[in-house]
Structure 1
Amino acid sequence: MERESASEALAALAQPARLATFSVIAEAGDDGLPVGEVARRLNARQNTTSTHLGVLARAHVVTAQRVGKSVIYKVNQDVLGSLIAFLEAFTPKPNGSPKVG
């Protein structure tokens, strides 16, 4: 993952309400959730939740798939895995220095 993509993903997750939104979707697992259910679980307004989901989707942290009249949001596992790998590159090696230069 490139720094710009990582920065966009981290910025999307850095806002508390968006992180809570992401957490609810992550907890739903592979089935994902429609926006109305995400809003209900967060006790939030649906339009506000939609806005947060839009930011997360533009950062590619979540995916959106239309199923009938609903849009189902799921964690983008590929991007999440890449983001984790990007961050792990900064963890110390056994000699105490970061893995990246």
Structure 2
Amino acid sequence: MDQDSAIDALSALAHPTRLAVFRLLVRQVPQGMPALTIAEKLKAKPSTLSGHLAILKRAGLLTSVRHQREIRYAAHLEAVNTLVGFLLADCCGGQIRNCADILTLLDDGASDDRTAP
């Protein structure tokens, strides 16, 4: 990932509705969710939401699949992994033991998800 792509992705997430959409869809991996369901869950107008979805998709953070009249969106986790890798590539001068706090956060988040109802 280059700097411009990272800036595009981070800019796409720098809006409350887009961040909420992305966080919702991360919880729905891999099946994703139809656009109208996203709008209902976030109490957003479908016409407004479509613009936000387009921005997230252009930034590479979402994928979409059309099934007849329905468009299903999903978080593109490979792109997210690439973004996080780009952000942390030079973390702690290459000394992984210095990144223990970051790794603990990631591990705690994963265990929280496993125990959630």
TM over 0.5, yes or no?
yes
The offset of 1:91, in angstroms, is 2.3
Structure 1: how far apart are the matches of 2:14 and 2:45?
20
What amino acid maps onto 2:45 in structure 1?
A: R
The offset of 1:30, in angstroms, is 0.5
What amino acid maps onto 2:72 in structure 1?
A: I
Helix, strand or coil: the match of 1:92?
Answer: helix
**CA root-mean-square deviation:** 1.5
Structure 2: how far apart are the matches of 1:10 and 1:83?
9
TM-score by length of 2: 0.76
Structure 2: how far apart are the matches of 1:52 and 1:42?
12
- Over the matched positions of the two proteins, sequence identity in percent amounts to 33
1:1-101, aligned counterparts within 5 Å? 1-93=1-93, 94=95
Structure 2: how far apart are the matches of 1:59 and 1:30?
19
Give CA-to-partner distance per residue, 1:49-79, whole Å, 9 cap, x none: 1111010001111011111221110111221
* Greater share of residues in helix: 2
Helix, strand or coil: the match of 1:79?
Answer: helix
The offset of 1:82, in angstroms, is 0.4
Helix, strand or coil: the match of 1:29?
Answer: coil
Structure 1 outlier segments of 4+, above 4 Å? none
Gaps of 5+ in 2: 99-117
Structure 1: how far apart are the matches of 2:12 and 2:85?
18
Matched residue pairs, number? 96
